[in-house]
Amino acid sequence: MTDLPLLRCFVDGQWVETHHRFPNINPVNGQLIGRVCEADAATVSRAVEAANRAAQGPWKTLTVQERSALLHRIADGIEQRFEDFVAAEVMDTGRPVHQARSLDVARGIANFRMFADLIKTASSELYESTLPDGAKMLNYVCRKPLGTIGVISPWNLPLLLLTWKVAPALAMGNCVVAKPSEETPSSATLLAEVIQAAGLPHGVFNLVHGFGPGSAGEHLSTNPNIDAITFTGESRTGSAIMKAAAEGVKEVSFELGGKNAAVVFADADFDAAVAGVMRSSFTNSGQVCLCTERVYIERPIFDRFVEALKRRCEALVVGRPEDPGVDMGPLISLEHRGKVHSYYQLAREEGAAILCGGDIPVFGDERDQGAYIQPTIMAGLPDTARCMREEIFGPVCHVAPFDTEEEVIPRVNDSAYGLAASIWTTQLSRAHRVAGQIRTGIVWVNAWFARDLRTPFGGTKMSGIGREGGRYSLDFYSEISTISIRI
């Protein structure tokens, strides 16, 4: 038991062990794979103090080119340890190895490279004006570092979502105290190792492990000496963090939950739409905030489309990360599996027909101690059902027919969430017309999770506050200041 890895916190350039440790569990088989040092309030305070100090040190004097070069060096470090990061993500989450390679770690590198390049070309604004007395004024806008950013990230895409915040925060000259999810501490710890090796000044990047309430997450979000909080996670957690930030009127950027819809018109490319809805419903075992949980299909193709989806769902390979052709791994934990499974039960109580899946698989091997659940398709629920309104965050979607655009658009928008939607049609004008009426932060047409990192990303309503991506990230991670000079 003692040879299991101990994941430590990283504070002020030093690796820190703490008294309280918590277990790291492999969701494939329920095995203990390590222990993690939980940061108490004092450790979090020391991390914030170190960040505040570093913000006034050499980090402050670096040029944009120097900071950009350091971010590229971090990306190089992730690249050099690519397989270590793949192993870390797979160990913590049980996801398919091919996904960890093509999505999680690849995006970790891309996030740092994108912002390293963007800060070198980011433009600002300058206006010339004349005062009533005839004096000329030059008015220009500049972005100054905010200071210390609290970064709190979730377990579903651990490295992707942590680096999506850390990269622009560092790019804009801030310092960071990051708190990854208690479920996925490994890749964040590797990132701290890479950042340390890249030679950033002590205290610029700090990592504290722990939970939310009464632990490192709450200690960080309530610390009076952080200047902004960027959070990705459940909407109700966002609400709790917002309350904590309100005390000090902190800036917040929230990427929260979703109950995303796919709309398939009869004129869609049928096979592409089936494949697209399968990907958007079952990728990462449905544990992506952008995943589809509501599928609306135009009535003329409803039966044929559902039959095709059902066949594809039944053919999904649910297995170990390294299994050949594996499509789906386990959920993140037995607790989360219990939540998703309870929604399968609730769906039956609400009158749903379970067309595929609907239960916990039996493998007859060590996976039966893991957090596996069957990919599931259900039908027959009214839009008012809880399963149609609450985020389940598992490999499940509900299929329903519709007859007209005028009917389906209000149904899609009738949600407390507004994160993402996908539309499948070959009619160009319809694509633009419908996409323009969907109330979400992102609408894909004949695509899903196709990301241009320069575009704004985020949700409306309970799905979040603010946008990150491209210059939107540069703005959030800056103190935007106007300088007006009489000339």
Footprint of ligand 2VS on this chain (CB under 6 A)? 156-157, 161, 164, 255, 288-290, 451, 457
Q: Among ligand NAD, ligand 2VS, none, what binds residue 451 when CB lies within 5 to 8 Å by partner kind?
A: ligand 2VS
Of the two residues 157 and 474, which places its CB atom closer to ligand 2VS in the complex? 157
DSSP-derived letter for residue 59 is G
In whole angstroms, the minimum distance from the beta carbon of 228 to ligand NAD comes to: 14
Q: How far apart are CA 37 and CA 16, in angstroms?
A: 8
**Residue 164 interacts with, from ligand NAD, ligand 2VS, none (CB under 5-8 Å by kind):** ligand 2VS
Q: Given the structure tokens 């340890």, which residue do they identify?
A: 81
Q: What CA–CA distance (Å, rounded) separates 414 from 427? A: 24
| CB 335, min distance to ligand NAD, A | 10
- Residue 329 CA to residue 97 CA, distance in Å, equals 10
Residue closer to ligand 2VS (CB basis): 402 or 472: 472
Q: Name which of 182 and 327 has its Cβ closer to ligand NAD.
A: 182
Q: Which is nearer to ligand NAD, 171 or 288 (CB)?
A: 288
Minimal distance, residue 257 CB to ligand 2VS, in Å = 10
Binding site for ligand NAD (CB under 6 A): 152-156, 161, 179, 181-182, 211-213, 217-218, 221, 232-234, 237, 240-241, 255-258, 289, 391, 393, 419, 459, 464
Residue 258 touches which of ligand 2VS, ligand NAD, none (CB < 5 to 8 A by kind)?
A: ligand NAD
The DSSP symbol for 452 reads -
Rounded to an integer, what distance in angstroms lies between the CA atom of residue 209 and that of residue 10?
9
Residue 412: C-alpha distances to residues 259, 291, 438 (Å): 9, 14, 7
**Which three-class secondary structure state does DSSP give residue 459?**
coil
Among 51, 334, 37, 53, which residue's Cα sits nearest to residue 215?
Answer: 37
Total residue length of the chain: 487
The encoded tokens of residue 420 equal 């993402």
Cβ closer to ligand NAD: 154 or 168? 154
* C-beta nearest to ligand 2VS: residue: 289
Q: Which is nearer to ligand 2VS, 157 or 392 (CB)?
A: 157
Residue nearest to ligand NAD (CB): 212
Catalytic residue among 182, 255, 298, 391: 255
Classify the phi-psi angles of 425: left when phi > 0, otherwise alpha if psi is within -120 to 50, otherwise beta. beta
- Min CB(321)–ligand NAD separation in Å: 20
Closest approach, Cβ 214 to ligand NAD, in A, equals 8
Residue 213 bridge partners (DSSP) = none
Picked from ligand 2VS, ligand NAD, none, the partner binding residue 234 (CB below 5 to 8 A depending on kind) is: ligand NAD
Compute CA distances 147 → 50, 173, 250, 408, whole Å.
Answer: 12, 8, 12, 45
Nearer to ligand 2VS among residue 28 and residue 157 (C-beta) = 157
Give the pairing of strands 417-418 and 460-461. Answer: antiparallel
* Least distance (Å) between residue 157 CB and ligand 2VS: 5
Compute the least distance from the CB of residue 288 to ligand 2VS, in Å: 4
Residue 182: which of ligand NAD, ligand 2VS, none does it interact with, CB under 5 to 8 A by kind?
Answer: ligand NAD
Burial of residue 406 (CB within 10 Å: 0-12, 13-18, 19+) is exposed
Is residue 255 part of the annotated active site? The answer reads yes
Cα gap 234→238, rounded to integer Å: 6
Partner that binds at residue 357, options ligand NAD, ligand 2VS, none, CB closer than 5 to 8 Å by kind? none
Q: What are all long-range contacts of 98-106, with beta carbons under 8 Å and residues at least 24 apart?
A: 98/326, 99/283, 99/284, 100/321, 103/157, 103/160, 103/284, 104/157, 104/158, 104/159, 104/160, 104/187, 105/78, 105/159
Picked from ligand 2VS, ligand NAD, none, the partner binding residue 69 (CB below 5 to 8 A depending on kind) is none
Known catalytic residues?
Answer: 255
